[in-house]
Amino acid sequence: MEVHKRLLAWDAESPPSEEMELEELRRGPWTVEEDIVLVEHVTEHGEGRWNALARRAGLKRTGKSCRLRWLNYLRPDVRRGNITPEEHLLILDLHSRWGNRWSKIARYLPGRTDNEIKNYWRTRVQKHAEQRDVGGAARRRWTPCLPEPIHVASCGFPSSSYVGPIAAPGRPPPPYSFGQPEQAIAACTETAASSSSTTSKDSLPTTAQGGGMIEGGEEMLGVDGGGGGWAESQLPCPLNYDELENVGWESEDLLSGDYLWTVDDSWSMNQ
């Protein structure tokens, strides 16, 4: 709020010149110089009012472009590097609930941007899905299958309605480690509550859990997720990834998607 006031005052102090308005906007990759200017101005004046910021900074960029550059690249807390197995599973899980709500999903992955997650999904996850599924039907179905194995892996027990397979053939089942589910749920709820602008609109229906979602695969991949899902207050227990590794579930297995796909394949065979 304070920042906003400061920006308003800042904007009023020096209105944009006519020449600047007429100048051509730059597009394409950002230069180091532009980055420095943007970082300095955001540091000094704070985020928001991106159009004004772009003008004041003398950047020949749109406000949108500045915002995007800051959020996706220049922001100090942005995390770079490979997606970890934990993040991978979390992305799969959250996507199964909310569909392509990338910004929403990104809130649960500190330091990751919606753009990064979106790219990750399209290039790694979706690609893998296409390779594994030539027919298309299974692709639409696979995502809703994921929450339960993840739920089991992280919480140690299946949800009540789940009837699908848990363990991949030739593998030990994921560990059943009860831990403290109350704490986990509380932690998740807290996270959900602290995420900005969470409205009832964003919380998907709570009717279906686990196996109940399998039938609704088609809708699940659409924007806004469609049918079944969980409310945010029903987010998963934090993934107990260490325990997965302790019983022979390697990071590579999870990241390669083989386990996840095997789950889907097994489920398909049961039908």
Partner DNA sequence: AATATAATCAACCGCCGGAAG
Partner DNA sequence: TCTTCCGGCGGTTGATTATAT
Binding site for DNA (CB under 7 A): 26-30, 48-52, 61, 63-65, 67-69, 72-73, 80, 100-104, 114-116, 118-120, 122-124, 127, 223
Question: Which of residues 72 and 206 has its CB atom nearest to DNA in the complex?
Answer: 72
Question: Which of residues 27 and 178 has its CB atom nearest to DNA in the complex?
Answer: 27
Q: How far is the CB of 209 from DNA (least distance, A)?
A: 22
**Is residue 61 within 8 Å of residue 54, measured between CB atoms?**
yes
Dist CA 38 CA 50 (whole Å): 10
Q: How many residues does the chain have?
A: 271
**Is residue 231 within 8 Å of residue 206, measured between CB atoms?**
yes
* Sign of torsion over alpha carbons 227, 154, 236, 81: negative
Contacts 24+ apart (CB under 8 A), 240-247: 240/153, 240/154, 240/155, 240/156, 240/175, 240/177, 240/179, 241/85, 241/86, 241/89, 243/175, 243/177, 244/153, 244/174, 244/175, 246/175, 247/172, 247/174, 247/175
Question: Which of residues 116 and 265 has its CB atom nearest to DNA in the complex?
Answer: 116
Other residues' Cβ atoms within 10 Å of the Cβ of residue 192: 18
Question: Which of residues 94 and 152 has its CB atom nearest to DNA in the complex?
Answer: 94
Dist CA 107 CA 198 (whole Å): 11
Dist CA 53 CA 38 (whole Å): 8
Question: Which of residues 123 and 161 has its CB atom nearest to DNA in the complex?
Answer: 123
Q: How far is the CB of 21 from DNA (least distance, A)?
A: 11
The H helix count followed by the E strand count for the chain is 17, 0
Q: How far is the CB of 67 from DNA (least distance, A)?
A: 5
Question: Which of residues 120 and 162 has its CB atom nearest to DNA in the complex?
Answer: 120
User: How far are the Cα atoms of 38, 65, 212, 214 from residue 161, in angstroms, in the given order?
Assistant: 51, 46, 7, 11
Question: Which of residues 28 and 169 has its CB atom nearest to DNA in the complex?
Answer: 28
Q: How far is the CB of 202 from DNA (least distance, A)?
A: 9
Q: How far is the CB of 57 from DNA (least distance, A)?
A: 13
Question: Which of residues 1 and 269 has its CB atom nearest to DNA in the complex?
Answer: 1
Q: How far is the CB of 118 from DNA (least distance, A)?
A: 6
Q: How far is the CB of 83 from DNA (least distance, A)?
A: 8
Q: How far is the CB of 60 from DNA (least distance, A)?
A: 10
